[in-house]
Structure 1
Amino acid sequence: MDEDSSETSENGHYGRNESRKRKWYRKRVRDPNFRKRQELDNSSYSSEENSGEGEERNSEESSVDAHSEAAVSMDDENASENSQAPEVNELVGHDELLGFDEAVGHDEAAEDNGGVGHDEEVIEGDYGLDLHCNQPQAENQRDENESGESDGDSDERDAFISEEELEASDAQEGSEEGSGEEEEEEVNNDNTPIFNGATVTFRESALAILTFILSHKLTGLCLIDLLLLLSLHCGRDNIILKTMYKFKKYFQMIGKNFIKLHYYCSNCEILLPGKNAVCCADQQLDTYFIEFPIIKQLENLFARTGFYEDLQYRFNRVKKDHNNVEDIYDGTVYQQLFNTGFLNNPNNISFFMYFDGIAVFKSSNFSIWPAYLTINELRYKLRTRKENSILAGLWFGKKKPNPNLFLRPIYDFFVSFEAIGANFTLPNGDVINVKGKIIGAVADLPAKALFMRFIQYNGAFSCSNCMQHGGRFGLGNTTIQVFPYEKNIGLRDNNETVEFASQAIAARQHNPDATVYGVKGPSLLSSLLPNMILCMGIDIMHGVFLGVMKTLNSLWFDGVNSEYPFSISNMVHLVDAKLKSIKPPHSFQNMPCRIKKDKWKAFDLKAFFFYYSLVVLNGIIPDRYWFHHVRLVTAISILCQEGISPEDFVSAETILHTYVSDFQVLYGVRHMTLTFHQLLHLPLVCKNLGPAWVFSCFFYESLNGELSRLVHGTRHVALQICSSSSIFMKLPVMINNMPDSAAKELCLKFQGRLRNRVKITENIDIRTGVVGKMKVCHPVPEFICKLLRDNYNILGGRYKYFYRLKRKSLVYTCQLYARSIQKKSCYVEIFYNNVPYLCKVHVYIRWSSCTDNCPNGCNNCPKQYFCVVTLYDRLIWELHDAPLENVLPHLNKVSPQNGFHVFPVESIRSMCIYMSFDDKEYISLPVNNLEVE
């Protein structure tokens, strides 16, 4: 605890009165009369404490602190623990500053829009900023959640919005911060200079500030201080936005018509005609889920410069091999729609869908269930950018979603969108008609079963790909579902599944839990997708890394399995020692995890699976288990390549069948769960939908993480998320519509920092650049002059060293880069004259043909860029003894050659992972250079 926190605790503001203040706070936010009385008391309290010139400043800080408490991230526990406890007057106005104070009620919204359909209520409002502030509210909220004082019913009740409360809070905050300035706010100052003689207009200023705070993730308190600081520098008569309230009010337009509320009966779960509708037991219920109109998000996307051109990638791409499956376009599902003409139309698009549940609060089972869409026609790097993703719907509450109820608005949209389409205006003014449909979906096993209306993974016939019944394995007082290996499995048929759904409805008239071959009933997915069975992906993030690899780690390293031959629980220290010595490249998110002392995330398990496990476990785990694991890594690596040949599919399928059948013998049928069983179906899924990285959930899970971070408290959960997502979708279009100016360039620069945080000092080509300063090389080492002379006919000229290189999206370093200690990005694969080389880069060199007559810093003479490297030879090792036709191509045991070589930096193809222990060296290539992790 810091000094401020200690002092606060001694004064009794936080330590001994913590529980009492939490109860007081809950009473205040739930009782409007209590809130009003407290505001009156605190107004006099504030007047006694604040006086003179500091009065206005203290009042504003009080409002900021209150807003900060509502906006603080629940994940930021460390920052919260060091936050100072709030004074009593700091808590006033908390619910008025939640960030949704401008939301308009149902009747007003409907009236403004000329009448809205009763089951599609439109909410207009202040969908403001995601402003994280490390303020005491997070500590109070977390303590409340962890202690269990906040019940789940309160969480769910507060998540739904009281329209009267929102209108009251709107008026309240307006009276507190906007008093006497209504007329000024109504004036359209967009094109007015922010002060007399300024070259920046009011709108340009607001957009530049917004882009700046989003790119640097500033807190709400920092934003308030920034606005005041800017106002100070602009003189007395400026019109710049000076308060948080005005700033949010200005961007209120962004969230208009962005969401639709669909009310339903929480008892019988049927859609209601409106908020005030009465259903079961004559009760009026306010439960609803949210639809984010897809049409409006598509309008924003098509309004972006270059977006329509990016959609033509499927026609312009250059395949490495005509027979290979290299993306979703080569899968059988896409090919069928392309050959029929629907996706052969350059205007038409297709989508991939993802759905999952996100736990929000520790104290209850309250969760949010987003439904995302990605556009397949964008190349993969663009497809998986946040600004190109679509949030189609959001379910939230203590109960899991009713899948058909939740999917109904999405289904209704695509019925029209596929048949009739929609007109969109491109940046050049052209209007085009676009049609689209969903052609694939992916989720983890529980969510997949829920939305497909299948029995969960722990039941008979729970595999959505085949008709295997499975069996029960006894574990003392309970049993678990297992799927013993069967070579010939009858696959499911889509039409047959629809028939099973109809039979299940009839069976449930007598038995509410009845299923027919694992099918509970009809699913709207069968109508949304061309073929629900063939179009459902198997996610390798959940299935292989968080599923299979995590299970294997438990079997190998947990002491409870020490009596089994596969256990190496007594050798964990040896494995940890090897993992600790590995220095991965900077592109890896984390250092290698320790087996038992670290919490493994999906990326850690993926890195261990592909790159570390075989090298680290070699010589530790018994050979039969090591070679068995070689099979699994080989098969999954084949299916995760950038291109899969027909022979690769046959090989992967054969290897996985052998792996699963041997797993039952080596580890026992007790562990033959659906997670391992679905490995048998992965090759067929990749044939239908493309390589496994096409439908990997890594990208979607990162969106889930950002979505959950937008929730800062139990009140108004859904609209907290809307506040940031609406701005996120609209901001690029607003910046694009700005006139060419210094302000627009600055906004584009701020946006670029989200994806480019290194400074390019000199561009080499469109994909390559020098990072950091260059150093004059004098005198030039004789061996470098000889290498360049013998290989590239380079004589004379000037030489400079540099130590970092950006190529494509990665930053490469060299051995001489002094700051690279824990991670190493100097090991690369070079592809030169159609020959691949494994190398370690010692230094990068820029050569220019300058003569003695050229001034220092001359940029007019021709230049070339090289890397000085050590080559590594590939060696035969234990991996080649595996009884496989395809030996892992990406994992190599190596030995360094003597001497140096020089290659153009443009020949660098990929970054590699270097590992060395027991006097043995290994270099691993990436399995693919595409997947977002």
Structure 2
Amino acid sequence: MWYTDGVPLFKSSKVGLWPLFLSINELPYHDRLKPENLLFAGLWYGKSKPSMSVYLEPFYESLKKLREEGISVNCEHCAKSFVVKGILLCGTCDLPAKCLMMNMAQFNGRFGCPKCKQEGVVVKTGKGHTRTFPFQENSIDGPKRSHEEFIEHGENAFTSSSSVFGVKGPSWWVNISADIINGTAIDYMHTVLLGIVRRLLKLWFDPKFSSEPYSASRFVDIADKRLACIRPPYFIKRHPRSIKDHSQYWKASECRSWLFYYSVPVLFGVLQKEYFEHYLLFVDAMFIMNLDSISPEDLLHCEELLIKFSCLFSSLYGVSHMSANLHQMLHLHDVVRQLGPLWVYSCFSFESMNGKLLKLFHGTQSPAIQIANAVSTLIKLPILEQNIDTDTHSQSAVSQLYCKLSSASDRHKITETICDGVHVIGAKHLQTIEPKYYAVVAQTLKTAPTKCLVFYRLMIKGVLFHCRAHKIASRNSYTVLFKLGGHLQTFGQVVFYTKCCFTCACKDGCNKCTHYLAVVQTISVERNILCTADAIVTPKLDNIVVGVFNNEYVAIPVTDILELCTFVDLNRKDKRVFMCLRPNKKEID
């Protein structure tokens, strides 16, 4: 999979970088996008965007040879040699970079969509004009582009010296890519999060649109107050920032947290009903398309959701807001069908690598020489790393350079392993448990334990869980989905974890004399109150659950904890709270 994008080198200059990265799809996802496993294929440096006919020519020759001849590899473990071949299956980048790579008109130009041949229409916006892509029935099933047709359009454009359906000429990727149309992904980081999510926030809360029927600008202080109440779990690195003051500066990760966890509870009762339920179509489709696994039935459901979302958008918000990003939603289900869930080809990890790349350059003197030296060192890092003595106090310059690029290590101190993938983090404390909790523990174990050690943190398959007794004012990492009675799934908040011991003849403890439990206050799940039924298409919203606290506590084995949730309590009069599930555990902030 290829990725490229422009990275400004200095704030006071037009000088920028265009790195080209390749990732190996056969590697497991958590290894695939590590800096040490990415192939740093090339770098363009200059004051302007790269000339792709110059920039991509060396890659064409190299990748063509890799595809046809391959590389001979000697395996030390099996004492055999074999030939490895490589092929470009897909690529990901934002829309401006995609137009350059495919040698097409800009995304906001005539025939600017890389997936279909919709021309778009020019509409007036304020004092100027913009090209929009209104919803059309024929844009659902066609006229779509194909790989063969794209090649033909490029050849015709080269012959006639004028673009054909937005194609300006031949592209270097055509002959080395499996399918340049189906293999070029739609990146949801730029298109959905930085595109549609930001646009909707502006339409709802920008005073500029206060006279529009969809505006909720008069309620922006209420929305900010609700956001301020949220204490995200540890896997969300950034705390919610004010919509009124900071939404235009939100990072893509903040937009993701807003989309999946905060927006529905915060907007419930703030947006007018028709606009709120319209937005739920979008939220549900994005959640499903970011799951670890998506069934054909779920994908068909997403297609229906996004068609309805796009169809209603122009009547609710106006044709002038039917942007290229919104038009891409009609093609998103095809991309997922061809390439998998949206997180697989998201630009998040690549953008993070761009940031690390910028740390290699210091000062404004001779940037070209700095780039050459740093990139040369970067290419040699996998070999040089083997010779670095990590036990020495003074690391070499190469070691420090590697530390800037390598993935952060796990710093949580494991003090005890309960079973495979389940660990106690931090110290265990011998303390008196409140009688009501002690009775719950004794009831679960069918007898009173001899000794109870309390601990506050638990790690399950790499996910860190806290408890309410572990006071961290800014975080809530103790609201969980768990199994009750071995099969029923329900929600609750972990009060504390305990290691219960019984008198036993064995020295080190055994399964019969030691039990690890979590004492949980349960939450009763209510019916879906967020949207009304629709005979045509109704969002499932399986990721957002509404409930009410019970005055009931249960003790469960820590291995029955399934998932950490984002808890949203808006201090409502009806005492309702919201639990929001993660679409997948692959993406991290």
With normalisation by structure 2, the TM-score equals 0.90
**CA pair 451-614 structure 1, distance change in 2 beyond 3 A:** same
- Measure, in 2, the Cα distance between the counterparts of 1:729 and 1:835: 52
Q: Give, in angstroms, the shift of residue 636 of structure 1.
A: 1.2
Alignment partner, residue 20 of structure 1:
none
Q: CA distance change for structure 1 residues 363 and 728 in 2, over 3 Å: closer, same or farther? A: closer
Alignment of 1:859-878 (within 5 A): 859-862=508-511, 863-878=514-529
- The one-letter code matched in structure 1 to 2:467 is C
Per the alignment, residue 534 of structure 1 pairs with: 182
Matching residue's letter, 1:931: E
Name the residue aligned to 2:85: 435
Displacement of 1:850: 4.5
2:122 paired with 1:466: no
Structure 1 residue 733, shift from structure 2 partner? 4.8
Q: Which residue of 2 aligns with 1:148?
A: none
Letter in 2 for 1:827: T
Question: Is residue 2:214 matched to residue 1:566?
Answer: yes
Deviation, 1:466, is: 0.6
How far off is 1:768 after superposition?
2.2
- How much has 1:437 moved relative to structure 2? 1.4
Distance in 1 separating the partners of 2:466 and 2:365: 47
**Would you say how many aligned residue pairs link Structure 1 and Structure 2?**
568
Equivalent residues in 2 for 1:208-357, closer than 5 Å: 352-357=1-6
SS at match of 1:876: coil
Partner Cα separation in structure 1 for residue 269 and residue 584 of structure 2 = 27
Relative distance call for 1:576 and 1:638 in structure 2 (3 A) is same
Residues 428 and 365 of structure 1: is their aligned pair in 2 closer, same or farther, counting only changes over 3 Å? Answer: same
* Structure 1 residue 390 displacement after superposition: 1.6
Establish whether residue 495 from structure 1 lines up as the match of residue 144 from structure 2: no
How do 1:89-238 residues align onto structure 2 when only pairs under 5 Å count? Answer: none
Q: CA deviation at 1:906?
A: 2.0
What's the counterpart of residue 169 of structure 1? Answer: none
Cα deviation, residue 716, structure 1: 4.1
SS in 1 for 2:350: helix
Deviation at 1:438, TM superposition (A): 1.4
Higher Cα radius of gyration:
1
Is contact 2:34-2:407 (8 Å) kept? no
CA distance in 2, matches of 1:395, 1:550: 30
2:172 aligns with 524
Letter in 2 for 1:390: L
Partner SS for 1:803: strand
Structure 1 distance, partners of 2:156, 2:483, is: 59
Q: Which moved more, 1:514-523 or 1:590-599?
A: 590-599
Distance 1:906 1:738 in 2: 39
Could you say which residue in structure 2 is the equivalent of 1:694?
A: 344
Q: Is the 8 A contact 1:384 1:932 kept in 2?
A: no
1:914 paired with 2:567, answer yes
Instruction: Work out whether 1:929 is the aligned partner of 2:585.
Output: yes
Note if contact 1:641-1:928 (Cα within 8 Å) is conserved in structure 2: yes
Unpaired runs of 5+ in structure 1?
1-351, 509-513
> Within 1, Cα distance between the matches of 2:456 and 2:270?
38
Q: How big is each residue's C-alpha offset from its partner over 1:611-646, in whole Å with a ceiling of 9 and x where there is no partner?
A: 111111111111111111011111111111111111
1:406 aligns with 2:62: no
Structure 1 residue 523, shift from structure 2 partner: 0.6
Q: Secondary structure at 2:232's aligned position in 1?
A: coil
Quick one: which amino acid aligns to residue 151 of structure 2? V
Question: How far is the alpha carbon of 1:726 from its aligned partner?
Answer: 5.4
The normalised TM-score by structure 1 is 0.58
Report if the CA contact (8 A) 2:281-2:539 is conserved.
no
1:495 Cα offset (Å): 0.7
Mapped partners of 2:500, 2:374: distance in 1:
48
1:454 aligns with 2:71: no
SS in 2 for 1:814: coil
Distance 1:649 1:861, change over 3 A: closer
- 1:671 CA drift (Å): 0.7
- Shifted more, 389-398 versus 870-879: the winner is 870-879
Distance change (3 Å), C-alpha of 1:724 and 1:861 = farther
Q: Is the 8 A contact 2:6 2:19 kept in 1?
A: yes
Distance 2:276 2:407 in 1: 44
Larger displacement relative to structure 2 (355-364 or 549-558): 355-364
Structure 2 counterparts to residues 832-847 of structure 1, below 5 A: 833-847=486-500
Structure 1 position 555 matched with structure 2 position 206 = no
* Cα distance in structure 1, aligned partners of 2:267 and 2:111: 36
Tell me how far apart the structure 2 counterparts of residues 903 and 680 of structure 1 sit (CA, whole Å). 45
In the alignment, the residues of structure 1 paired with residue 421 and residue 369 of structure 2 have an alpha-carbon distance, to the nearest angstrom, of 40
1:821 aligns with 2:473: yes
CA distance in 2, matches of 1:867, 1:722: 55
Deviation digits for residues 456-502 of structure 1 (CA, Å, limit 9, x no counterpart)? 01211100101111111123553211111112221111111111111
Distance in 2 (CA, whole Å) between partners of 1:826 and 1:808 is 16
Q: Matched residues in 1 for 2:569 and 2:53: separation? A: 53
Distance in 2 (alpha carbons) for counterparts of 1:735 and 1:608: 39
Structure 1, 765-774 or 446-455: larger mean CA deviation: 765-774
Secondary structure, aligned partner of 1:895:
strand
Separation of aligned partners in 1, 2:287 and 2:250: 21
Other structure's SS at 2:197 match: helix
Report deviation, 1:809: 2.5
Structure holding more helix per residue: 1
Seen in structure 2, the aligned counterparts of structure 1 residues 650 and 753 have a Cα distance that, compared at 3 Å, is: closer
**In 2, are the aligned partners of 1:849 and 1:861 still within 8 Å (CA)?**
no
Q: Percent identity?
A: 32
Query: SS where residue 887 of structure 1 aligns?
Result: coil
Change (3 A) 1:735 1:498: closer
Alignment RMSD, CA only? 2.6
Return the letter of the residue paired with 1:391.
Answer: F
Residue in 2 aligned with 1:893? 546
**Paired amino acid for 1:871:** T
Q: What secondary structure, in the 3-state scheme, does the structure 1 residue paired with 2:569 have?
A: strand
Q: Could you tell me which residue of structure 2 aligns to residue 420 of structure 1?
A: 69
Counterpart residue number, 1:759 = 413
Check the 8 A contact 1:910/1:929 in 2, yes or no: no
- CA distances 1:227-272 after superposition (whole Å, capped 9, x unpaired): xxxxxxxxxxxxxxxxxxxxxxxxxxxxxxxxxxxxxxxxxxxxxx
* CA deviation profile, 1:741-783 (whole Å, cap 9, x unmatched): 9779x999x98992201111112234221111110134x5555
Aligned in 2, Cα 1:805/1:549: closer, same or farther, shift over 3 Å?
A: same
Which residue matches 1:614? Answer: 264
